[in-house]
Chains A and B, each alone.
Chain A
Amino acid sequence: MADYYDPKDLRKFGKITEWSEELGEKFFDYYGKVFEEGKLTAREKSLIALAVAHTEQCPYCIDAYTKDALQRGVTKEEMMEAIHAGAAIKSGATLVHGVMMMNKVNKLDG
């Protein structure tokens, strides 16, 4: 294995079903259903997926959902805004734990 991540492996995603058919199929059925048009448009869901792809730092997902967003006519400015939304939650999730630190300091050290 020359690299942990190979872009060509994304094409093999469907093969996970081969080693666990029932669970694999259930996953892909669910996955497909999630991204259908619903109360949210498929375009909105694609942008959510793009933001989460970044917070999860998943190279396959970033590859797939950048392309998906382009296919849906999403502009690069819209994509970057979506990523900032993810990044804001990610950094906010770190910072909000500062309250825990403050509580501990206050308890231990007045």
Chain B
Amino acid sequence: MTKLKTQSLHKRNSELAQSNKQLEILSNGIFANGELPTFAEKIEETGQFPMKPKKLEILQINLGYMCNQTCDHCHVDAGPDRKEIMTVETMKQCLEVIKNTGAHTVDLTGGAPEMNPNFRWFVEEASKAGIEDFIVRSNLTIIRANKKYYDLPQFFKKHNVHVISSMPHWTRGKTDKQRGEGVFDMSIKALQELNAIGYGMPDSDLRLDLVYNPSGAFLPTNQENMKKDFKKALLEDFGIHFHDLFAITNLPIARFLDFLIASENYEEYMYQLVEAYNPAAVKNVMCTNTISISWDGWLYDCDFNQMLELKVDSDVKHISEYNEDVLNDRNIIISQHCYGCTAGAGSSCQGSVAD
């Protein structure tokens, strides 16, 4: 069993549960008094404002904010108390889009997407569309959370799902501190089960990648070095194999923003992000090749803008009126949280974006 780390901001009735409050914090203080440049000012220095999308490659679909975990730094503010779940009707609209999209990747996320009662039906239907890369972002513990999920690894395999899972560290202490007591042991067990049916094994086509994000108010280091350390430790200690590791920077929104403010790290963290700004990362950040679809069908430039309720700046704003050509002509909506994706080697749901 795992123990919940905290409650969602929504459950706590925190004012940070409101996206406009978060945006207000990100726009004021050090960004209003001239101490630090706004993100718009920064990208203007290299003539990259306004940001425009490139070719659409990824449809990221959020099946709901419900999750069996309440990790410290969740940018979704997910948890068991979140009841926002994608309906079958919206799923059907997504399936129509998947059949006709020019994107090569469909990326299912949450919360724990598997907790949506229609998750399996949706995966079965979507996989018929012949998408090149079909990703499910699984938190691993869900596989062991209840016996109704025990066969998920086999289900993933049957539909050739690419599994991407969060793993903040190769040690129990750091993992449980961020994700809840017992999460590490259960995640290890889930990884071993995935390995047992071929996921993550060398030369296997069943892709299993891990996502690392820092456990506190600091940035991730070089992704390749981190991958080597993870591979060595997980193999030596638990016999676990995986393919790739994506290092993701924590963006200053939702529960991570709450943590930064409560721990008096907010300003220092924003300084770190701005100082690590890499103009080369801007052209490859995920909003340039992704459309994020929320549980209720609204369209966003990325998962983070979804959580800040910043809908796309386009005549097409909802899955029911989806039109890729119209969408691709939009300007990308930015704010100071975007510094999280352009720090150092950059950050996206697929990890670093610049050399």
Residues of chain A touching chain B, judged by Cβ–Cβ distance below 8 Å, are 7, 11, 37, 41-43, 67, 70-73, 75
Distance (Å) between the CB of A50 and the closest chain B CB?
14
Q: Using a Cβ cutoff of 8 Å, how many contacts connect chains A and B? A: 33
Is A75 a contact partner of B225 (Cβ separation < 8 A)?
Answer: no
In the assembled complex, the Cα of A75 lies from the Cα of B173 at a distance in Å of 9
Selected A-B contacts with CB under 8 Å, 16 pairs: A7-B268, A11-B271, A37-B225, A41-B225, A42-B222, A42-B225, A67-B218, A70-B215, A70-B216, A71-B219, A71-B220, A72-B226, A73-B221, A73-B229, A75-B171, A75-B173
Minimum CB–CB distance from A35 to chain B (whole Å) comes to 12
* Chain A interface main SS type: helix
The minimal Cβ–Cβ distance linking A57 to chain B, given in whole angstroms, is 22
B275 proximity list for chain A (CB < 8 A): 11
Question: B170, B174, B214, B271: which contacts A71 (Cβ < 8 A)?
Answer: B214
The range of chain B's interface size is: 20 to 34
| B337 close to chain A: CB less than 8 A | no
- Is there a chain A Cβ closer than 8 Å to B255's Cβ? no
Flag whether B179 is at the interface (Cβ < 8 A).
Answer: no
A43 contacts across to B, CB distance below 8 A = 225, 229
Partner of B225, one of A67, A70, A72: A72
CB <8 Å contact, B219 and A75? no
A67 to B171, CA, bound (A): 18
> Mask for B173-187, Cβ within 8 A of A = 1, else 0?
110000000000000
The interface bits of chain B over 186-230 (1 if a CB of A lies within 8 angstroms of the residue's CB, else 0) are 000000000000000000000000001011101111100110010
Q: From A46, which residue of chain B is reached at the shortest CB distance?
A: B221
**8 nearest interchain CB pairs?**
A71-B221, A72-B221, A70-B218, A71-B218, A67-B218, A73-B229, A75-B171, A71-B219
